[in-house]
Amino acid sequence: MTYGLVLQSARHDAWATTAALLDLSREALPGDPPRAEALARLAVLAAGEMDAAGQPALAAELRAEACCQVGEACRLGGDLARAEEELGRAEEQLRRAFDAIGRAQFCAALGRLRRDQGRADEALALLGRAATLFEKHGNQADAAGALAEKGEMELRSFEPAEALETFDLAASLVPEGPTKLALRVHRGLALACALDNQFAEAREVLAAARSRFAPDPGSREDFELLLAGGELAEGESDYPAAEQALAPAFHGLLALKEWHIAAIAGLHLARILLAQSSTTSLRKVVDEMTPLFAAPGLHGNLLDALGRFRAAVLENRARVPLASAVLDYLKIALDNPSLRFATSAQTSPQEEKGS
């Protein structure tokens, strides 16, 4: 789409043109950040036509939303500095606007950027603020989504009490769905219970979620609940039960070509096999990961992390700390695959070599 066509369409109906471009931009993420950025920049251009129509406040709201989307595309493309600049432009536009939902979207986008920058305290505060603003204006699903992101950060930071509170609130906001979001929230709630050593409660949460939201058999959501059950069993050091859940989750997600989450399930499975010194089974799992290395759309940084682990297994030097480091990275990279895997930040060279 050319600038001329966008301007022509925007002069006819700037709001509809901007909204359509933003929808197309969001559809392009996370897989195609350059396309998403180009479309969002066209949305910024289209939104400017509202000024010409004598609606500066609405123009500012639309520009802010579009700048947030440009920032999101830059973040997912790995350019955090440009993402910062674009969100600065969004904030400037919001000073001229009256759109509380726009401010919530800005807080959520800035929170994700701060998370990727390693500024965890700021990220948590911003995601919490976004949830409050979304809820205040009746947007409960987006509020729950922001809380889910916040809770997942708290899980990775080993803060069970905070994560439990966050996921409890999120669950109260989406009691009947949407199903995908509700399952994400209840998986998080179960893992938070487990992190707090409340394993019986965690299993009850998962069982209730499976019964209440009934994911289609063989769907991604079905296998993700199975994966969560495997994580609970691993947390209790019940390795047979963990393997019984993780193996079908891994194979099922591979069959669905859900590459990233399949890699997470595979690393969980590999880690428990390492813990049991099951070398033959471990090599089999690593061999079954081979399709990941030819998977379309799987980011090169993820392949680098998986490749390091595969090489360590084949050279008989893989150890649990390396598996944990790669697994933690894969989970973080679910939110932004452009983030790089830094072994030195997560496990020592001696641990990676198995010495």
Query: In this structure, is residue 258 part of a structural domain?
Result: yes
Structure tokens at 46: 């289209």
Q: How many domains does the chain have?
A: 2
Query: In this structure, is residue 42 part of a structural domain?
Result: yes
pLDDT of residue 96: 82
Query: In this structure, is residue 19 part of a structural domain?
Result: yes
* Cβ-contact 141, 181 below 8 angstroms: yes
Q: How far is 147 from 131, CA to CA, in rounded Å?
A: 6
Task: Please classify residue 24 by burial: count the beta carbons closer than 10 Å to its beta carbon, then call 0-12 exposed, 13-18 middle and 19+ buried.
Answer: middle
Strands (DSSP E) found in the chain: none
pLDDT of residue 4: 67
Query: In this structure, is residue 348 part of a structural domain?
Result: yes
Average pLDDT, integer, range 197-205: 95
Among 69, 94, 119, identify where a domain stops.
Answer: 94
Query: Does position 292 have pLDDT exceeding 80, yes or no?
Result: yes
Domain that holds residue 39: 1-94
Helices 320-333 and 259-275: crossing angle, nearest 10°? 160
Among 94, 118, 142, identify where a domain stops.
Answer: 94
Map residue 352 onto helix, strand or coil: helix
pLDDT range class, residue 12, cuts 50, 70, 90: low
pLDDT of residue 51: 64
pLDDT of residue 45: 86
Question: What is the tens place of the pLDDT at every residue in 34-82?
Answer: 999 999 999 998 888 766 556 677 888 889 999 999 999 999 999 999 9
Question: What is this structure's pTM?
Answer: 0.88
Query: In this structure, is residue 59 part of a structural domain?
Result: yes
Name which of 328, 331, 326, 320 is nearest 354 in CA terms. Answer: 320
Query: Could you give the count of Cα atoms lying within 13 Å of 120 in the half-sphere of its Cβ?
Result: 10
Average pLDDT, integer, range 119-141: 96
Query: Does position 354 have pLDDT exceeding 50, yes or no?
Result: no
Mean pLDDT of the residues in the chain:
90
Task: Please classify residue 295 by burial: count the beta carbons closer than 10 Å to its beta carbon, then call 0-12 exposed, 13-18 middle and 19+ buried.
Answer: middle
Among 36, 71, 94, identify where a domain stops.
Answer: 94
Query: In this structure, is residue 40 part of a structural domain?
Result: yes
Single-letter code of the amino acid located at 93? Q
Question: What is the tens place of the pLDDT at every residue in 271-281?
Answer: 999 999 999 99
pLDDT range class, residue 344, cuts 50, 70, 90: very low
Query: Does position 265 have pLDDT exceeding 90, yes or no?
Result: yes
